[in-house]
Amino acid sequence: MSAAWIQASSARAQRIQTLVRKRTADLKRINRRLVDDMIARERTEKALQHSEQRFRQLVSMSSDWYWEQDRDFRFTMVTGGFTEKAGIVLERLLGRTRWEFIDSIPDSEAGRAHIAQVRAHQPFANFEYQLRDDNGDTRWFCVNGQPVFDEHGGFAGYRGTGSDITERKLTEQRVHHVAQHDVLTGLPNRSLLQDRLSQAIAQSSRSGNPVWVMLIDLDRFKFVNDSMGHKAGDVLLMTVAARLRACLRDSDTVARLSGDEFVVLVSEHGEQQLTPAIVERVMNAVAQPVLLGTKEFFVTCSIGVSVYPSESTPADELIEHADIAMYRAKKLGRNNFQFYSPAMNEESLERVRIEGALRNALERDEFVLYYQPQLDMKTGKIVGMEALIRWQHPELGMVPPGRFVSIAEETGLIVPIGAWVMRTACAQNKAWQDAGFDKLRVAVNLSARQFGAPDLVEDIAAVLADTGLEPKYLEIELTESLFMSDITPAVELLHRMKALGVNLSIDDFGTGYSSLSYLSRFPIDVLKIDRSFVADITRDANDEAIVTSIIALAHNLKLAVIAEGVETGEQLDYLRRHGCDEMQGYYFSRPVPALEFEQLLREGRGLRPHETIAPAEPAIADGGAANSY
């Protein structure tokens, strides 16, 4: 029994012991797990702290900031040195939405889209907006945001980043400015002009207020550029640009189209109606003297105006039509303005037609030469003739030179046409001489374009050699425009031409710009008084003075003088009395075809010798007085 008890009690003790061991082991294990847990938690906490610190460091190092908003889009926090980075005290921002803080956001398309996106709890990226910082400086921010949802999927607000992009925006604006403005004058260029024009048209369509497009072209800018140099030309353009700006309102656009062409857009605003006085104001502003170096220059301009809305001008042809009107203003003698009219379009279409037809005219043999006699005032005899070109076109009819010579000059066609004139005139003159008529001089007009062509002197020499005409029976008429630019090569060329033995005359004398002092450097034989002076000599005291001065000047320089455009007996008398050497004009004969001219020669026609020669008025003694015109 006791043995059984002992056995039983030792078995219990053993069980207890096992239990105790087991518990102890459990406890140890739990303890170990606890310690492990603690270590792990500590590690996590450290890691968290670390990551938080890294995040803060990162945010403060980067130029961005981090922000959070509540479910009503109000800022709850912004980290990372926001105030320094953004120039805004944080407290001003907290508790407000972005569009409460910057009340201009709802004004823009992008701003309204942003607000809608946020209200729809969508993520957004690169939303850019402008604002003023605490110093009142303009800044640009760019923000990105993500909606935040709680564990039940409910919307809890937004978080995101922001950065200051002012530098980039300014650079972009500068690049944009450069791309849209003219470097020299700072005015809008053609591309920006197009934008402004579209805006003006759109506005006009809404308001019904008209828009005027003025195309302004400086008269004889090329002359300044060539004679004074490009720097002076630049100064002139900048001056004109500033004057155009100054004489218009800030809301008007002044753009530089190219070279010396400017465009002005003016729109009517309420009270201020558009009237031609505005165009005159622009012309006056341009026409003020400009100081270039030590010289004062007077530059005028020609302006073409097109109007929107108008029946004849669709929106996309406003500039083109202003250009056509400007061209017309130039043709009417420059320094004036013209409003576009459909008739002008006709004219420019005719230009295109003429240009096309002109290209074939030579090979189709459509040109003819007319000859106008030139007579000696003393003997009354025909001593020469001017060859004047005529164009007989199968459909256009007889086209006068006034309608095609300038086009031929612009296109360069004048070079082959002029060569044809030279050859035909010389051959005709030689043929008359060979037929036994008195030997006459033939005058041929040379355009500036031909003057600049290579081989000019060689070509003239070849014509003389081929036709057998003695050089002294050829006279070449040049205009003063040839000498406007750089005169040194011109002088050299004139000497080479003169060396051929031909005569040289200056046509339309008195209308150009030639400085009288140049004249003595040119190997010139004849001055041809422009017919505009002759037309008025018996009516206008100024023109009288000019004509008598030219005659006196020419004689002092040992040059002969011929008056062209003599239409009346009084004009003839006047010129005779003042010692003019020769005359040409309708009074004696119009330009006539070769056969008719031959008839004049055959009949021995001439001026009736002057019976009662009145005593000559005292001629101006020297060139001094002549300088005054």
Binding site for ligand C2E (CB under 6 A): 372, 388-389, 400-402, 405, 414, 418, 421, 445, 447, 507-508, 531, 564-567, 585-586, 591
Distance between CA 541 and CA 602 in Å, rounded?
A: 40
In whole angstroms, the minimum distance from the beta carbon of 531 to Ca ion comes to 6
- In the list Ca ion, ligand C2E, none, the entry touching 323 (Cβ below 5 to 8 angstroms by class) is none
CB atoms within 10 A of CB 180: 17
In whole angstroms, the minimum distance from the beta carbon of 570 to Ca ion comes to 21
Q: Are strands 301-308 and 337-339 parallel, antiparallel or unpaired?
A: parallel
The nearer residue to Ca ion, 511 or 556, going by C-beta atoms, is: 511
In whole angstroms, the minimum distance from the beta carbon of 525 to Ca ion comes to 14
Distance between CA 216 and CA 247 in Å, rounded?
A: 14
In whole angstroms, the minimum distance from the beta carbon of 190 to Ca ion comes to 39
In whole angstroms, the minimum distance from the beta carbon of 391 to ligand C2E comes to 10
In whole angstroms, the minimum distance from the beta carbon of 344 to Ca ion comes to 27
Tally of CA atoms within 13 A in the half-sphere of 48 that contains its CB: 6
CB atoms within 10 A of CB 392: 14
Nearest CA-CA partner of 579 in 541, 550, 608: 550
The nearer residue to Ca ion, 124 or 587, going by C-beta atoms, is: 587
- In the list Ca ion, ligand C2E, none, the entry touching 585 (Cβ below 5 to 8 angstroms by class) is ligand C2E
Residue 303, token pair as written in the block: 């302006």
CB atoms within 10 A of CB 77: 13
The nearer residue to ligand C2E, 214 or 408, going by C-beta atoms, is: 408
Q: Are strands 382-393 and 397-399 parallel, antiparallel or unpaired?
A: antiparallel
Distance between CA 186 and CA 180 in Å, rounded?
A: 9
CB atoms within 10 A of CB 236: 20
Q: Are strands 582-584 and 367-376 parallel, antiparallel or unpaired?
A: antiparallel
Q: Among residue numbers 66 through 105, which ones bind Ca ion (CB under 5 A)? A: none
Please select the residue that binds Ca ion; options are 69, 189, 429, 445, rule is CB under 5 A: 445
The nearer residue to Ca ion, 252 or 507, going by C-beta atoms, is: 507
Nearest CA-CA partner of 145 in 154, 155, 137: 155
In whole angstroms, the minimum distance from the beta carbon of 584 to Ca ion comes to 9
Nearest CA-CA partner of 238 in 183, 275, 305, 276: 183
Residue pair 563/582 in contact by the 8 Å Cβ criterion: yes
Task: Tell me, by CB under 5 A, how many residues bind Ca ion.
Answer: 4
Taking CB under 5 A as the binding criterion, the range among 43-51, 150-158, 472-480, 534-542 that sits at the site for Ca ion is: 472-480
φ/ψ of 604, rounded to 5, equals 65, 30
Distance between CA 14 and CA 8 in Å, rounded?
A: 10
- In the list ligand C2E, Ca ion, none, the entry touching 618 (Cβ below 5 to 8 angstroms by class) is none
In whole angstroms, the minimum distance from the beta carbon of 400 to ligand C2E comes to 5
Which residues touch 182 (CB under 8 Å, ≥6 apart)?
Answer: 188, 189, 255, 256
- In the list Ca ion, ligand C2E, none, the entry touching 569 (Cβ below 5 to 8 angstroms by class) is none
In whole angstroms, the minimum distance from the beta carbon of 533 to ligand C2E comes to 12
The nearer residue to ligand C2E, 400 or 468, going by C-beta atoms, is: 400
- In the list ligand C2E, Ca ion, none, the entry touching 418 (Cβ below 5 to 8 angstroms by class) is ligand C2E
**Interface pattern 498-517 for Ca ion (x via CB under 5 A):** ---------xx---------
- In the list ligand C2E, Ca ion, none, the entry touching 591 (Cβ below 5 to 8 angstroms by class) is ligand C2E
The nearer residue to ligand C2E, 68 or 567, going by C-beta atoms, is: 567
3 state SS of 256: strand
CA 568 to chain centre: 46
The nearer residue to ligand C2E, 344 or 389, going by C-beta atoms, is: 389
The nearer residue to ligand C2E, 322 or 421, going by C-beta atoms, is: 421
The nearer residue to Ca ion, 239 or 479, going by C-beta atoms, is: 479
Nearest CA-CA partner of 423 in 394, 452, 389, 398: 389
Token look-up 């056509």 returns 324
In whole angstroms, the minimum distance from the beta carbon of 406 to ligand C2E comes to 9
Taking CB under 5 A as the binding criterion, the range among 82-90, 339-347, 373-381, 438-446 that sits at the site for Ca ion is: 438-446
Q: Which amino acid is at 128?
A: E
Taking CB under 5 A as the binding criterion, the range among 133-141, 193-201, 456-464, 476-484 that sits at the site for Ca ion is: 476-484
Nearest CA-CA partner of 428 in 544, 589, 592, 560: 592
Backbone torsion region of residue 81, taken as left when φ is above 0, otherwise alpha when ψ lies between -120 and 50, otherwise beta: left
Using rule CB under 5 A, residue 582 touches Ca ion:
no
Nearest CA-CA partner of 285 in 220, 218, 233, 187: 218
In whole angstroms, the minimum distance from the beta carbon of 195 to Ca ion comes to 47
The nearer residue to Ca ion, 387 or 413, going by C-beta atoms, is: 387
In whole angstroms, the minimum distance from the beta carbon of 274 to ligand C2E comes to 38
Using rule CB under 5 A, residue 477 touches Ca ion:
yes
Token look-up 């700072």 returns 186
Using rule CB under 5 A, residue 480 touches Ca ion:
no
Residues 150-170 as b/e (b if ≥16 CB within 10 A, e otherwise) read eeeeeebbbbbbbbbbbeebe
In whole angstroms, the minimum distance from the beta carbon of 214 to ligand C2E comes to 31
Q: Among residue numbers 28 through 57, which ones bind Ca ion (CB under 5 A)? A: none
The nearer residue to Ca ion, 301 or 442, going by C-beta atoms, is: 442
Dihedral sign for Cα atoms in the order 523, 527, 530, 531: negative
The nearer residue to ligand C2E, 88 or 563, going by C-beta atoms, is: 563
The nearer residue to ligand C2E, 279 or 572, going by C-beta atoms, is: 572
Which residues touch 92 (CB under 8 Å, ≥6 apart)?
Answer: 101, 134
The nearer residue to Ca ion, 197 or 484, going by C-beta atoms, is: 484
Distance between CA 210 and CA 200 in Å, rounded?
A: 9
- Which class for 453: exposed (0-12), middle (13-18), buried (19 or more C-beta within 10 A)? middle
Taking CB under 5 A as the binding criterion, the range among 148-156, 283-291, 475-483, 590-598 that sits at the site for Ca ion is: 475-483
In whole angstroms, the minimum distance from the beta carbon of 314 to Ca ion comes to 41
In whole angstroms, the minimum distance from the beta carbon of 586 to ligand C2E comes to 3
- In the list Ca ion, ligand C2E, none, the entry touching 567 (Cβ below 5 to 8 angstroms by class) is ligand C2E
Nearest CA-CA partner of 282 in 259, 256, 257, 264: 264
The nearer residue to Ca ion, 64 or 508, going by C-beta atoms, is: 508
- In the list ligand C2E, Ca ion, none, the entry touching 375 (Cβ below 5 to 8 angstroms by class) is none
Nearest CA-CA partner of 289 in 217, 224, 222, 231: 224
Binding site for Ca ion (CB under 5 A): 445, 477, 507-508
